[in-house]
Amino acid sequence: MTLAQRRGDTRHDWWRGATLYQIYPRSFMDANGDGIGDLPGIAARLEHIASLGVDAIWLSPFFTSPMDDFGYDISDYRDVDPMFGTLDDFRALIDRAHDLGLRVLIDQVLSHSSDRHPWFAESRANRDNPRADWYVWADPKPDGNPPNNWLAAFGGPAWTFDSRRCQYYLHNFLPSQPDLDFHHPEVQQAQLDNLRFWLELGVDGFRFDVVNFYFHDRALTDNPPSPDWYRHAGHPRSHQLLRHNTDQPENLAFLERVRTLLDEFPGAASVGEVGGSDPLTIMAAYTAGDSRLHMAYTFDLLGSTGDARQLHDVLARFADFGDDTWPCWALSNHDVARSASRWGEARALLALTVLASLRGSLCLYQGEELGLPEAELAYEDLQDPFGINLWPEIKGRDGCRTPMPWKADTVHAGFSPATPWLPVASPHRPLAVDRQDADPDSLLNRVRQLFKLRGESLLLRQGDQQLIDPAALPEDIFALLREHDGHRLLCLAHLGRDSEPAPLAPDTLVDDFAGWHSLALPGMPVPEAAGHRLLLAPGTAVWLALH
The residues that are catalytic are 209, 264
Q: Who's near 53: CB < 8 A, 6+ residues apart?
A: 19, 448, 451, 452, 454, 455
Alpha-helical regions (H) of 333-384 = 339-343, 348-356
Cβ atoms of 521 and 542 within 8 Å: the answer is: yes
Cβ atoms of 545 and 487 within 8 Å: the answer is: yes
Distance from C-alpha of 300 to C-alpha of 56, rounded to nearest angstrom: 23
Which 3 state secondary structure label does DSSP give 104? strand
- Which residue type, as a one-letter code, is found at position 342? R
Cα-based torsion angle of the residue sequence 371, 235, 362, 334 in order, rounded to the nearest 10 degrees: -50
Cβ atoms of 412 and 388 within 8 Å: the answer is: no
Extended strands (E) in 290-424: 295-297, 328-330, 361-365
Q: Who's near 257: CB < 8 A, 6+ residues apart?
A: 188, 192
Distance from C-alpha of 493 to C-alpha of 480, rounded to nearest angstrom: 9
Cβ atoms of 331 and 368 within 8 Å: the answer is: yes
Distance from C-alpha of 126 to C-alpha of 137, rounded to nearest angstrom: 11
Task: Write the DSSP assignment of 156-188 as a string of letters.
Answer: SBSEEEETTTTEEEE-SS-TTSPBB-TTSHHHH
Read off φ and ψ for residue 419, nearest 5 degrees. Answer: -60, 125
Cβ atoms of 63 and 448 within 8 Å: the answer is: no
Q: How many residues does the chain have?
A: 547
- Which residue type, as a one-letter code, is found at position 541? A
- Which residue type, as a one-letter code, is found at position 244? H
Cβ atoms of 492 and 536 within 8 Å: the answer is: yes
CB atoms within 10 A of CB 165: 16
C-alpha torsion sign, points 340, 104, 15, 251: positive
How far lies 516's CA from each of 163, 185, 470, 489, in Å? 71, 58, 21, 9
Cα-based torsion angle of the residue sequence 254, 256, 259, 261 in order, rounded to the nearest 10 degrees: -60
Burial class (CB in 10 A: 0-12, 13-18, 19+), 542: buried
Q: Who's near 454: CB < 8 A, 6+ residues apart?
A: 19, 53, 356, 362, 460, 461
